[in-house]
Each structure stands twice: as C-alpha cells, then as structure tokens.
Chain A
Amino acid sequence: MQNKLQVDKAVRTVLLISASLSIVIVVSIFIFIFRSSLPAFKEFGVQGLLGELTWRPANGSFGILAMIVGSVMVTLMALVIGVPLAIATAIFLAEIAPRGVQAVVRPAVQLLAGIPSVVYGLFGMVVLVPLIRRIPVAGNSGYGLLSAAIVLAVMILPTITSISEDAIRAVPRAYTEASLALGATHLQTIFQVLLPAGKSGIVAALILGIGRALGETMAMIMVIGNSVILPAPLNDNPLTVFLSQARTLTGNIAVEINYASGLHASALFATGVVLFMLIMIVNVSAHAFLNRSNALAN
C-alpha cells in the first residue's frame, strides 16, 4: 500500500513537470529571441529598426519598415480575397448544404488545410506567377503581392471556414425557430439572426486567419519576390501597386538567418520580435472573442 502511494506521488510530480513545460517553452522563446535582438535595438534604437525603410546588411542599414508594410499588405489582400469565400462556405456548410454535399465540401476544406505550404508555393510559382506575368505592365515579374495574396487567401480559407462554421452552429436552435416563426425567410434568419449572434466567433475566426497569414513563411518566399522595397505602383496606374514585389517579416528571417552573424543576425531576431508581438496581439484578441462566443453558446 505504502509503495503504491509513493508511486502515485512520484507520477504526479513527473506529470506536473511536463505540464509546466509549455509555459517554460513560451518563456524561453520570448527570452531567447528578445535577448538576441538586444544588440540591434541598442545600436539602432526602436526608431532606427522599425522606422527605417532601407535594409542593406552589407552597409549596416537594418530598417524593417518595408517588411512590416509587406506583411500587412499581403495579409489584408489575402483577407479581401479569402474572407468572402470562407464565410460563404461556412454559412453554406452550417445552414444549407444537404448532407451529401457536406460530405464532399467538408473533407475538401480539411484537405486544403493539410496541404503543405511549400506545395501551395510551388503551385503559385508554376501556375499563378506565369499567369500574372501576362498582365502587360513594365516591371511586372509575376512575383509579387498579388500572387502571394492569392496563395495566402487559399491557405487561410480553411481556418476561417471551420471556426466560422462552428460559431454559426453554436447559435441556439431557439433563435432560428423564433425567427422563422415570425415569418422571416431562411436567408433573413441567416443574415439577421444567426450571423449577428455568431459574430464573436466569426470575428475570432478572422483574427486567427490574420495570425496564420502573418506567420506564413515558405509559400511567401516562393511567390512574393523577396525584394526589400516599399510596395509602390509600377506606373501611373495606382492599381499596379499590387504587382509590386515585397518581402514579409517571416521571409526576411528565413532567407537570411542561416548566414547572418553579428548585428545582422541580431536585426533578424528583432524582426522576429516584431512578428512575435504582432502575433501575440492578434492571438490575445482572438481568444477574447472566442471566450465571448463560448459564453454565448452556453
């Protein structure tokens, strides 16, 4: 008996240690990335890193503003392309798809989520980039924001679709019944009852989609062109800004970290710090919305 209880205690301690591991990892990620970025922050200051456009490691300029703009622009564009499709698919799956159709669409969305990002990147390089290169604008290489945004839109679609579908399904059945009983059509019920009621969950889905988009690395390297420039129109037509090349924060880290040293490496860690902060803001707000949506469902 004594023995069994001792085992019990020992096991509990081991389990407690493994449970604390996740927070230990988060803290060490935080510490390691911040510590390694300190030399760059000391040398150039926050303004010198975040407020400068020129990134030329050979000349000692390490401004990452262009990359921040690149990441934000490609994310916004991906949202504009992907969100309408994603939410429409979520409504379709939750409310109007017959069972047989659900059995096709849902696994399709699941598989879209599972396809490796390098495969999307490859598809972008081989199919999308040559297509977009055909747009007759001087300086248009095909590689750039538009290609990257289309690839990214497909990649964030599954996240947004499945979380939004859950949010719509979580709205109590009584809401739908009351609305239909009042004479509203199914469509009116969807747009004026279900979507407003599921709003928090859908917003959370969008924010998590933003998080995924900001964090995507390999597919972006493959199609966005990676030039460190502030995206600008290629000619008089302002729309050609979408054909401009760019570089994302994630791409900056991945492309250069393996051969960087000294201040250059430190500036890359600073890039990581900016990305880390952005993602933390995104995730904390997503969870706030998710909690609200769960509270509603209960």
Chain B
Amino acid sequence: MADATADQAETQSGPMLAADGTPLKRSLARSLRMQRIRALMLVAPLLIFVLLTFLSPIFDMLFRAVENRIVGDTLPRTVEVLKDWDPETSDVPPEAAFQALYYDLFLAAEAKKHTRLGTRLNYEDPGISSLFRSSGRSLDDLGEDHIEAIEDTAKQDWREGAFWYALLGGDAGEPVVESARSQFVALEGETPRGPVGVVWCGLRNVVGAPCPPSLSRMPLNFGLSNDAMAMLPTTSLQYAAFGVFTVLEDGEALQEEDPWEAVYVAMAQDLAAPDAAAKVAAYTGPGAAELQAAQQAIAALPPISFRDGFAEIDEDWLDPTVWRSIKAYSPKYTPGYFLNAVDLEMGPDGVQARPESQQIYVMLFKRTLIMSMAITISCIMLGYPVAWLLSNLPDRKANMLMILVLLPFWTSLLVRTSAWKVMLQQQGVINDTLVWLGIVSDTNRLVMINNQFGTIVAMTHILLPFMILPLYSVMKGIPPSYLRAAKSLGANNWTAFWRVYFPQSVPGIGAGSILVFILAIGYYITPELVGGTTGTFISNRIAYHISSSLNWGLAAALGSILLVAVLVLYWAYDRIVGIDNVKLGG
C-alpha cells in the first residue's frame, strides 16, 4: 500500500519526502531494515546456539561418511607411486612402491598411526589390520645387515647425534624440511577436523585457554647441508623426517639424537648408488673418512630389496589385493561407506552388489520403515478411541484417565520394556494365563517376544502417548454440537462420525503419526531388548558401528540415509496431506 501511494505521488510531483527531507521510500526501507535486524538480533542467541550445539556436530558426524584422508595422510609417497600401477594386473607393484611404503610406514609406526590405517583398510579387506600391526613391529629389522655394516665401520661416531648432524645438517634445505613437516602434520591429523574444531579453538582463544600450539608453526631449529643433499639425497630426506619427528613429537634437539633405522637404510641405499663411490671420494667435509669406510662396507653387500624385506615380514605383502585396497582407498573422499550402506561394493568393473551372504542393510532399512508404519498404525487404532474418550468425558473422569495415559510416559523406558519381557515371554504372565485357562497347551506356548511381534507391541505401548496427546488436543477443539447437528439432520451414528467428526480430527492423526513414525524409525533400545533377530532396526546396526566396530564412517553413511529417508517421507507427507493441516494443539 505504502509503495503504491509513494509511486503515485512520485508520478505526480516528484519523490515524496519524509519529515527529515529524505525520500519517504528510502526512509521506510531503512526503518524496515532496522526492524529486521532487531528481530534477527533477538533470534540470534538461539540461532547460534542451535547451529553450534546441534547442527554443526551432526554435520561433522555425517561428513565422516565420505571423508577418507587417512590413507593419503599416512602413506603419501606410496599413494604417489601407486598412481602409475595398474591394479588390474596380477602382479604386485614395483620395488619403488615397496620402498615408498617402507619409509611411509616407518614414520607412521614411530608416530603409532599405522594401526589406525590398518583398522581403516580392514573394513574393506579383512586381514589388513593385523598385517599392519605386525609389520609396524618388525619394520626395524628390515635392512638389518646394512645398518650393522655401516655402524661397524665406526661405532663411536655413527652412534653420535652430533656426528650425524655435522655430516647432514646445515642451514639450507628448507623446502625439504618443510615438506617433511607437512607430512608429519598430516600424519598427526593435527589440523582441527571440520567446522566444530575451528569454532572450538576460537572459543578457547577467547577464554584464554588456546588450543595447543600448531605443529606447523613450532620452530624446528635445524636445516640440511647442501653438500649432503647432493651426495646423499634419500638420506637427507629421511634425516629431515627424523628431525621433524624428534623436535615436534619428542621435544628433543636433533643435534643430540642418533637417527632411527630408516635413516641408516636410506644411507645404505644412497651409498649403493652407481656414482656413490665417486661422490664420496670427492667429498671433503666433516665425516668424510667415516663415510668412505661406510661406502666400502655397503659396496660389499647386495643392495637392499624392500620387496624381499616386506615378504620376510609377512607373505601377504606379495598379495596384490592388499595393494589394490591401498590404491582404491587413497583418494580424500570415498563413496565406499555409502556403497556399503546399501549392500554394494567397489569391484574391479565398477560398482557391484555384495555377495548375498553379506547383504543386510537394505533389508534392515525396509524392515525399519515397514515396522515403523505398523507401529504408527497400531498407535492410531489404539490411541484414537482413548483420545475420543478423553475429550468427551466430564473433566473429573477425563483428568483421571489422562493421568493413566501419562503415568507410563513418566516411567523409565527400560522398566517398561523389561515389563513387556515379563508379560510376553514363554514362561510369562500371558502364556501362563493362557495355559491355565486351557487355551494353549503347556508344550505349545506362544512365542510373543524376541521377534517382530514383541517389538511392535512394546513400541506401540511406549509411543502411544505421542499419538494420544495431539489427538486429544485436536478433538478437544471439535465442538460436540457438530455431531448433534449432524444427527438432528438425519445422519446415523456412523455417518455422523465418519462425515463430520473424523475429517476434523485428521490434523491430530497427522501430527500424532509424524511424531510416532519419526520417533519409531530411529528407535534403538527397545528393539535391541525385545527384537530378537527379526525385530531389530537399522538403528541397532548404527549403534553397533558407533560403539563396537568403531566404523564411524559406515555409521555416518547409514545415519545420513536414514535422515534423508525421513526428510523425503516428510516431504511426501507435506505434498499429500499438507503440513498446514497438522495441528499439535487445538
């Protein structure tokens, strides 16, 4: 209206002005904007609260369904080498892959992160878990002869951290050191994961208890020498990795530490290179004599074979399946969990169905939906007459009845579920009564629990108040005079109910059904206790993967699918019934 008048005024005699001289249109827009901002400020605390404490953790959890950084973070060089390897071949990857795996796994084992990767890959390929665990333990033994050969040339010197630092350390080599650092930081998984972590550290900063200093900014206080990098490239690289670990993880100075085996192995590799003898002979810096002696000792030995070394640790490393799993799960994001959640898997020719003996989730999703619907329907059947009675009895009696409805609502869920066990089991109250009455024989007692029937009965009972309460509040608002009017106009009882009363109570049924159905679909504890094998829900598997198998990725995928299913049903419900027709209160 205001706009229309303003426009009119504009066409007639220029812009209309407010009291302070600004055009009325702008002034109005500003005051409206102020109003909106004020409204937003009022909602802001709640909005931020819900965002921080509810939505972001859920998002963070569901994000795990696709997140898969662990393989690339733990074995970066191996993943790089495997890019050129064709997983279709029946051969294991070349020596370079074993070599990369050795250095990656060595660092991971020192940081105690290799077993976590093993657990991750075990989800896809059973058996990898212990392969990684045992390999991490025996990795120190790989290249043992070479390590000893180097050490034997000059035990005093090679065991000295200062000697090593004089040989390899210096002021140069920053890019190498920093890349070693970023590998270590990725391995530690230190970067806060997801939005929650960022916000959390921000909050801690505000209250004066900041998150621990970032590994990527702590000073390292060492560098590499240019000579050594040219002469012993692999050794320098491994020395940098060792240095980063020593400073950041152990909090020691690199100059005082005798390096770990991987640095010796790297040196044995460098010294065995074809032009190593010439390079070492030309070298005149610190430790030149010792290096020459070591070079001669290494030259006398056969070169290190990482492939054989790994085969000696465990024959399974010569099985291409292990390598295929590493390659298949090396990208940062994976559809693997979602495929698993719908009984599919990644096969050699793309997505394929899992073997029938492992198919379970689709069936569980279907069962959850069907049983939730059955529970909703039985809640309507039982709740509708009760709600009708409640809303039509005199207040005193209605209040009494209401307490009876609410009483179980206030009783612990576990108590109610256990009570159903006592009622329904084969030696339980109902069976005993039936046997006593002679309706069933003692040997043929009814099986009413640890199956779907038990779940439906117990859950209908538990969820019934959620149906009765909205129904009651809607029915309370239907004037009794409508029914009387219908009857006085000649309708019989049924017609009056069906044509006049029932349509007005539909919003209550809608509200109750949505409540009961959505609660039922995510129910966990009751199906677990009384569901036996045929009455359990998808939520029981989600709980298993969260708390027992620790496969949170799969749990997140299953949870996402459940969430989407509920949203789709809600949308369909809105299209068919119309969400405006739902009433929680009169």
Bind each other:
no
Interface residues of A (CB under 8 A from B): none
